[in-house]
């Protein structure tokens, strides 16, 4: 039986924690869902901004209301 070295452990650990490759259809689906989650959060945050902050980002209250009212799947 051979002695294990630190590099053997590092190699083993790296193989155990490496990312799993997903088929393109799955990774595309996961990416789309991630975009939807981010979009939903951003629109909720936009809806809560006061007029002063909206002015800072260059949006009117009406523009912010329209954007915040869109469903998460629409750009």
Q: In this predicted model, what pLDDT tens digit does every residue of 16-47 receive, in sequence order?
A: 566 777 677 777 899 999 999 999 999 999 99
Give 46-66 pLDDT, tens digit per residue: 999 999 999 999 999 999 999
Give 11-23 pLDDT, tens digit per residue: 555 555 667 776 7
For residues 69 and 17, which has the higher predicted lDDT (pLDDT)? 69
Reference 74, options 48, 39, 47; nearest CA is 39
pTM: 0.63
Helical segments of the chain, H only: 6-17, 24-47, 51-57, 61-68
The angle at the Cα of 35, spanning 57 to 66, to the nearest 5 degrees, equals: 45
């Amino acid at each position: 039986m051979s002695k294990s070295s630190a590099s053997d452990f590092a190699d083993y650990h790296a193989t155990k924690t490496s990312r799993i490759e997903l088929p393109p259809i799955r990774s595309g689906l996961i990416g789309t869902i991630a975009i939807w989650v981010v979009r939903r959060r951003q629109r909720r945050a936009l809806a809560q901004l006061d007029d002063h902050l909206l002015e800072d980002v260059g949006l009117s209250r009406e523009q912010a209301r329209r954007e915040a009212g869109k469903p998460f799947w629409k750009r």
